[in-house]
Amino acid sequence: MEVLSFIDMGIKVENAISGLYESAAVAASVSAPDLVSELKALAREEIGHANALKMARNYASAMPDLFSVRSIDVRGIGIGLEEGASAMLSIPSGKGLKPLLEFLLDMEKRFERLHLGASVAITDDSLKSLFLSLSKGDSGHIAILTKILVDLA
């Protein structure tokens, strides 16, 4: 998978995860209304991740020589991203808030690993920094979702 395709898929996945957080906020409005604003904030952060990836895509498009096959290998990372996107086809629906939050937690863990992997594979400092930042965002989301799930138990 070439780097631009990898970034494009990442944008789609971040937007899809934002939609899942919005769905979780709707589900929470019935069973846990105190979580709605927090889940909507997570949805907005995912949109921010997608927007950061869009800027990275523009950067990578403008300087393709920095992102040749020799300078980045996203094959393994791309496979992980494709697996994560495929897993999103099995989103729990109609079973309440908790299964959706557990699914989101799994996705955040997957994408934290992928973003860290991308930061290692990329030699450009700006993109490396972006993917490290995305992995930190994922880590924060993991902590929030873990706390929410513990509180729901």
Write down the pLDDT at residue 79.
Answer: 64
Counting every residue written for the chain, the total comes to 153
What is the amino acid identity at position 137?
A: G
pLDDT given at position 56: 87
pLDDT at 132 (0 to 100):
92
pLDDT in tens, 27-83: 899 889 999 999 999 999 999 999 999 998 898 788 776 655 444 555 555 566 666
91-138 pLDDT, tens digit each: 666 567 898 899 899 889 988 988 888 888 777 788 888 889 999 999
Whole-number pLDDT of residue 124: 75
Where do the domains of the chain lie, and which CATH numbers do they carry?
3-152 (1.20.1260.10)
